Amino acid sequence: MADELRAEATEPQVAELLAALRAEFREQADELFAAACEFVSRGVLRSRIGLSARTADLRRLGFIDPQVAAPGLSANQLVGLFALLACVLLFGIVTAGSRRQFGFGQQLLLVAMIAGTYCCAIWCALYPKQRWDMARRGTAGGGRPMAAYALSAVAGAGIGMLVNFGFKCLIFALDDHTVNRALSDAASSYPWLMLTFTLTAATAFHADNAAGEFGPRQRWIETATQGAAMAAAALITVLWLQELGRGPQGAEFLLRTVALSALIGAVVGYVVPNSYRQSMRRAPAPVAASDTVVPLRAVEPKVG
C-alpha cells in the first residue's frame, strides 16, 4: 500500500495522505517507546529493592550509559571535602586556647570528629534528593520541600551526635577515661548540634537552586548566605553554652567560633551545591544509550 501511495505521490491529495501516515506512525512509535519505558520502570525495576540493583538492570537493558556516573557527590569528592574541612579546622582548633587541655593527638581526633560530622550532614542533605521526589524541588521557581529540609537536618544532627560520641570515646580513652566521660560530655555539649542542623538544612536548600537562578554570581551568593547562616548558628550556640555555664566565657571564644563556623559554611556553600548541580546535569537520560540487545527467550509450555 505504501509503495502504491509513493508511486502516486505526485498528486496533492496522495502526498497529504502520505505525510499524515508518516506523522501518525511517528506518534504511535513515540507512544510505544513511552509505554516500553513505563513497563520497564514500573514492572522490571520495581522488582529490585536496592538502587544499585535497579541501576544495574537499566544498564543491562541499555537505558543507561555505563560510563556515566550516578548523580550526587562521589566518594572521592566526599573524601576531598573531608580533607578540606580538616585543614580549616586544624588551624582553628589547634590554635584555640579553649582546646589546650587536650593533647595534640586528641586535637587531631577532634578535627576528624567535626569534619566527619559535617560530611555526614552533607550526605544527609543530598542523599534523599537522589532517592525520593518529595525531597527535591520540582522545577526552578517552584515550591521548596521545607519539610524534607527539616527532616534531613534532624537526621544530620542525629547522625552527628552518634559520630561525636564515637570520637569522644576515642579522645577520652587516650586519658584512660571511661565511656561515662564521653556520655557526660555528650550530654553537656548538645547545643553544638545546632551547627550540624544548620549546615544540613542550608546545603539541602542550596542544592535545589537551579543553575543561574540567582544570576551569574549565584555561586558567591550561596557561599555568602551559607557562611552567614553558619555564623548565626554559631553565635546562638556559643551564647546558649555560656548561659548554661558549659562553654568558655569571653568575647575571644565567641568571635573565634563564629569566624570558623562562617568559614566552614562558606567552603561548603561554594563547593557542594555547584558540584551537586553538575552531577545532576551529567545524570543519564531515560533513552537507549547502548547497542547491546537483550535477547528475549520464550517459555516453553510444559507437556504433561
* Whether residue 152 sits in one domain with residue 49: no
The per-residue pLDDT of the chain, averaged, comes to 76
- Report helix, strand and coil shares of the chain as percent, to nearest 5: 75, 0, 25
| DSSP-assigned letters across all residues of 55-117 | HHHHHHHTSS-TTSPPSS--HHHHHHHHHHHHHHHHHHHHT-GGGTTS-HHHHHHHHHHHHHH
* 3-class secondary structure, 6: helix
Distance CA 37, CA 31 (A): 10
How many separate domains does the chain show?
A: 2
Looking at the fold, whether 31 and 93 belong to one and the same domain comes out as no
Pair (237, 295) in one structural domain = no
Q: Are residues 132 and 238 in the same domain?
A: yes
- Shared-domain flag, residues 55 and 100: no
Whether 97 and 24 map to the same domain: the answer is: no
**pLDDT tens by residue, 124-172:** 998 888 888 788 777 666 678 888 989 999 999 999 888 888 888 877 7
Could you read off the pLDDT of 235-285 as tens digits, one per residue? Answer: 999 888 888 777 677 778 888 889 999 999 999 999 988 888 887 765 544
Q: Are residues 52 and 120 in the same domain?
A: no
Domain that holds residue 102: 75-281
- Same domain, yes or no, for 203 and 167? yes
Given a contact cutoff of 8 angstroms between Cβ atoms, the answer to whether 147 and 199 are in contact is no
Residues 218 and 251 in one domain: yes
Do 21 and 131 lie in one domain? The reply is: no
Residues 232, 111: one domain? yes
One domain, residues 276 and 303? no
